[in-house]
Structure 1
Amino acid sequence: MLKNNLRLTHFVLLMSFLNFLFFHLPFYRYVFNNVDYKSFNGVVLIISLIILMLVLNAFVFYLFFSLSRNLGKFLLTIFFLINSVAVYFINTYSVIIDESMIGNILNTNFEESSSFFSIKLVLYIIFLGIIPAIFIIKAQIIKDSLRKFLTLSSLTLLFIAVLVFANASNWLWIDKNSKKLGGLAMPWSYSVNISLFYIHKYKKNEKEILLPKATIKDNQKSVVVLVIGESARRQNFSLYGYKKNTNPLLSAQKNLFHFDASSCATYTTAGVKCILEHTNSDDLYEILPNYLYRNNVEVIWRTTNWGEPPVHIKNYQNREYLMKDCKGEGCNYDEILLTGLKEQILESKKNKILIVLHTSTSHGPLYSKKYPPRFESFKPVCNSVELGKCSQQELMNAYDNTIVYTDYILSKIIDDLKELKEYKSTMIFVSDHGESLGEKNLYMHGVPLSIAPKEQYEIPFIVWVSDNSKQLKANETVSQNHVFHSVLNFLNIGSPVYNEELNIFK
Structure 2
Amino acid sequence: MLTRFKTLSVNRFTFIIALFYVCVFNIPLFEIIKKGIEKQPDVDPIFIATMPLFLLFALSFVFSLFTVKYLLKPFFIVLTLLSSSVFFAALKYNVVFDYGMIENTFQTNSAEALMYVNFASILNMLLTGLLPAYLIYKADIQYQPFFKELLRKILFMLAMLAGVGIIAFFYFQDYAAFGRNNDEIKRYIVPTYFIGAAAKYLNVHYLQTPIEYEQLGLDAKNVSPNANGKPNLLVLVVGETARSMNYQYYGYDKPTNAHTQGQGLLAFKETHSCGTATAVSLPCMFSRMGREDYDSRRAYAQDTVIDVLNHGGIKVQWFDNDSGCKGVCDQVENITIDLNSDPALCSGQYCFDQVLLNKLDEALAKAEQKDTVIALHIIGSHGPTYYLRYPPEHRKFTPDCPRSDIQNCSTEELMNTYDNTILYTDYIISEVVNKLKQQQEKFDTAMFYLSDHGESLGEKGMYLHGAPYSIAPIEQTSIPMLAWFSEDFSQDNQLNMACLAKEAEKGGFSHDNLFDSLLGLMNVQTQVYQAELDIFARCRG
TM-score range, shorter chain: over 0.9
Residue of 306, 326, 331 corresponding to 1:313: 331
User: What's the counterpart of residue 45 of structure 2?
Assistant: 43
Larger displacement relative to structure 2 (495-504 or 393-402) = 495-504
Asked if the contact 1:36–1:42 (Cα under 8 Å) also holds between the matched residues in 2, the reply is: no
User: What's the counterpart of residue 389 of structure 1?
Assistant: 408
Superposition pairs of residues 60-75 of structure 1, within 5 angstroms: 60-65=62-67, 68-75=68-75
Residue of 215, 220, 233 corresponding to 1:223: 233
Give per-residue Cα distances to partners, 1:164-197, cap 9 Å, x unaligned: 344321214324534x323322222321110112
Matched AA of 1:485: D
- Cα distance in 1, alignment partners of residues 337 and 17 from structure 2: 46
Does residue 462 (structure 1) correspond to residue 485 (structure 2)? The answer is no
Give per-residue Cα distances to partners, 1:226-266, cap 9 Å, x unaligned: 11111101111111121111111211003544333111111
Asked if the contact 1:381–1:398 (Cα under 8 Å) also holds between the matched residues in 2, the reply is: yes
User: What's the counterpart of residue 129 of structure 1?
Assistant: 129
Superposition pairs of residues 286-301 of structure 1, within 5 angstroms: 286-301=303-318
Q: CA RMSD in A?
A: 2.4
Q: CA deviation at 1:327?
A: 7.3
Q: CA deviation at 1:339?
A: 1.4
Does residue 157 (structure 1) correspond to residue 161 (structure 2)? The answer is yes
What's the secondary structure of 1:351's corresponding residue?
Answer: coil
Superposition pairs of residues 17-416 of structure 1, within 5 angstroms: 17-35=19-37, 41-65=43-67, 68-144=68-144, 145=148, 146-169=150-173, 170-178=175-183, 180-201=184-205, 206-213=211-218, 214-218=220-224, 220=226, 221-254=231-264, 256-280=266-290, 281-282=294-295, 283-284=298-299, 285-306=302-323, 308-310=325-327, 311-320=329-338, 324=341, 328-329=344-345, 332-349=351-368, 351-416=370-435
Give per-residue Cα distances to partners, 1:260-291, cap 9 Å, x unaligned: 31111111122112321233122314212222
Matched AA of 2:222: I
- Cα distance in 2, alignment partners of residues 293 and 317 from structure 1: 16
Superposition pairs of residues 439-454 of structure 1, within 5 angstroms: 439-454=459-474
- Cα distance in 2, alignment partners of residues 351 and 451 from structure 1: 45
- Cα distance in 1, alignment partners of residues 320 and 44 from structure 2: 50
Q: CA deviation at 1:459?
A: 0.7
**Number of equivalent positions:** 501
Matched AA of 2:338: E
Q: What TM-score, normalized to structure 2?
A: 0.87
| Structure 1: gaps spanning 5 or more residues | none
What's the secondary structure of 1:354's corresponding residue?
Answer: strand
- Cα distance in 2, alignment partners of residues 161 and 77 from structure 1: 30
What's the secondary structure of 1:469's corresponding residue?
Answer: helix
Structure 1 runs, 4 residues or longer, greater than 6 Å off:
37-40
- Cα distance in 1, alignment partners of residues 225 and 331 from structure 2: 22
Q: What TM-score, normalized to structure 1?
A: 0.92
Aligned-residue identity in percent: 28
Asked if the contact 1:435–1:444 (Cα under 8 Å) also holds between the matched residues in 2, the reply is: yes
Matched AA of 2:90: I
Give per-residue Cα distances to partners, 1:62-111, cap 9 Å, x unaligned: 2212xx22201111111222222222222211111222221222121111
| Structure 2: gaps spanning 5 or more residues | none
Matched AA of 1:291: V
User: What's the counterpart of residue 6 of structure 2?
Assistant: 4
- Cα distance in 1, alignment partners of residues 202 and 396 from structure 2: 43
Larger displacement relative to structure 2 (123-132 or 154-163) = 154-163
- Cα distance in 1, alignment partners of residues 118 and 343 from structure 2: 32
- Cα distance in 2, alignment partners of residues 84 and 255 from structure 1: 46
Using a 3 Å threshold, how does the CA distance of structure 1 residues 40 and 316 change in structure 2: closer, same or farther? same
Asked if the contact 1:272–1:432 (Cα under 8 Å) also holds between the matched residues in 2, the reply is: yes
Using a 3 Å threshold, how does the CA distance of structure 1 residues 404 and 38 change in structure 2: closer, same or farther? closer
- Cα distance in 2, alignment partners of residues 36 and 44 from structure 1: 16
Q: CA deviation at 1:407?
A: 0.8
